[in-house]
């Protein structure tokens, strides 16, 4: 496995594989790698001849009062994890490499970025689409792998790929959960033992909604009210949103019909946690 820090070296490093027509898979991450990331790497490893993992804590997708500074950066453990998953290339650029002085270009997807997390994190998705567009142009992968944990991100990136005609395929990989149901997240390490226990109310509420819908409930307002109540009664927390939207258009639903995304974002202790499930109405 090679570790590469510059765009120039990454391009020349991948050139022989590209010339040989080998398929290239990209797993873009912000590091602090966990089982969720590992599952992306494994799927990429199965589907592609060259696997590139990028590790870059992207400043432009953090708001001014968010956790950019304290976001975990365990470089050695991350490299060991990538080696363990038989990754070929780890791309770990500096901020200056990705955002040189004087850069002024932004890629923005409208509409899909207005609701859900977009409402609470203004500018977040512009930062995501901009850095992902850069990574796509740097790595030029055949496939790029994203986790369903960031459900809105996946929909937004798929839209960007379609709209800007990026010549690659987006592969969405399932959420990986702890045995007790908590969705894997680099931000789980912010949680105290008490927070960690309370955080189970998120996946619990989603599981309850899934079961209640399977049992015939179709009324979105009733589902959301009960989920909010379950989460709020778990202890001190701040709910950004609990919403049920069309899984493709992200337009809010009033009734469960078609593929629906049930998504939520909740602050527990020092962590802002997100989770979701997709249900068929």
Q: What is the DSSP letter of 111?
A: S
Q: Which of 19, 65, 76, 96 binds a copy of itself (CB under 8 A)?
A: 19
* Min CB(33)–a copy of itself separation in Å: 24
Out of 108, 194, 214, 225, the residue judged to bind a copy of itself by CB under 8 A = 108
CA nearest to 157, candidates 201, 209, 112, 207: 112
Rounded Cα gap, residues 199 and 234, in angstroms: 8
CB atoms within 10 A of CB 80: 13
Q: Which is nearer to a copy of itself, 95 or 214 (CB)?
A: 95
Residue 80 lies near a copy of itself (rule: CB under 8 A):
no
| Active-site residue set | 37
In the list 39, 54, 152, 159, the residue contacting a copy of itself (rule: CB under 8 A) is 159
User: Between residues 167 and 193, which has the closer beta carbon with respect to a copy of itself?
Assistant: 167
Please report whether residue 21 would count as binding a copy of itself according to CB under 8 A. Answer: yes
> Per CB under 8 A, which of residues 110..129 are in contact with a copy of itself?
110-112, 129
The stretch near a copy of itself (CB under 8 A) out of 29-37, 107-115, 186-194, 206-214 is: 107-115
Q: How far apart are CA 194 and CA 179, in angstroms?
A: 17
Residue written as token pair 């997807």: 109
Binding residue (CB under 8 A) for a copy of itself from 45, 49, 74, 107: 107
Among positions 11, 38, 42, 267, the unique one binding a copy of itself when judged by CB under 8 A: 11
Minimum gap (Å) between residue 92 Cβ and a copy of itself: 16
Q: How many residues does the chain have?
A: 281
Of 2, 86, 106, 207, which one interacts with a copy of itself (CB under 8 A)? 106
Quote the least distance from Cβ 20 to a copy of itself, whole Å: 11
Q: Which residues pair with 146 in a beta bridge?
A: 172
Which residues ranging from 160 to 199 are in contact with a copy of itself (CB under 8 A)?
Answer: 160, 162-167
- Measured between alpha carbons, how far is 21 from 204 in angstroms, rounded to an integer? 46
Q: Does the footprint of a copy of itself cover residue 26 (CB under 8 A)?
A: no
Closest CA to 265 of 236, 228, 235, 226: 228
Of 66, 95, 57, 125, the residue nearest 267 (C-alpha)? 66
Q: Does 94 bind a copy of itself (CB under 8 A)?
A: no
Would you count residue 35 as binding a copy of itself (CB under 8 A)?
no
Closest of 232, 224, 220, 229 to residue 266, by C-alpha: 232
> 25-54 in b/e burial notation, b at 16+ Cβ within 10 A?
bbbbbbbbbbebbbbbbbbbbeebebbbbb
Which residues bind to a copy of itself, rule: CB under 8 A? 7, 11, 19, 21, 100, 103-112, 129-130, 133-134, 137-138, 140, 159-160, 162-167
């Amino acid at each position: 496995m090679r570790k590469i820090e510059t765009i120039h070296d990454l391009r020349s490093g991948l050139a022989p594989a590209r010339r040989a027509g080998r398929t290239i898979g990209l797993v873009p991450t912000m590091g602090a790698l966990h089982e969720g990331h590992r599952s992306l790497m494994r799927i990429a490893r199965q589907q592609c001849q060259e696997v590139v993992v990028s590790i870059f804590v992207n400043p432009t997708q953090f708001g001014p009062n968010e956790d950019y500074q304290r976001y975990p950066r365990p470089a050695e453990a991350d490299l060991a994890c990538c080696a363990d998953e038989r990754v070929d290339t780890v791309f770990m650029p500096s901020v200056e490499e990705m955002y040189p002085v004087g850069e002024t270009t932004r890629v923005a997807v409208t509409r899909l970025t207005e609701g859900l997390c977009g409402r609470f994190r203004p500018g977040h998705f512009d930062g995501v689409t901009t850095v992902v567009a850069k990574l796509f142009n740097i790595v030029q992968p055949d496939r790029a792998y994203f986790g369903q944990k960031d459900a809105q991100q996946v929909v937004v990136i798929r839209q960007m790929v379609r709209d800007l005609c990026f010549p690659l395929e987006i592969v969405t990989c399932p959420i990986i959960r702890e045995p007790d149901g908590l969705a894997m997240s680099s931000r789980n390490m912010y949680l105290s033992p008490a927070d960690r226990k309370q955080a189970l109310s998120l996946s619990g509420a989603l599981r309850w909604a899934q079961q209640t819908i399977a049992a015939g409930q179709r009324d979105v307002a009733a589902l959301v009210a009960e989920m909010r109540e379950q989460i709020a009664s778990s202890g001190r927390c701040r709910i950004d949103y609990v919403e049920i939207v069309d899984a493709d258009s992200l337009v809010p639903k009033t009734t469960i019909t078609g593929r629906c995304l049930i998504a939520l974002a909740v602050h527990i202790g020092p962590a802002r946690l997100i989770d979701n499930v997709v249900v068929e109405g």
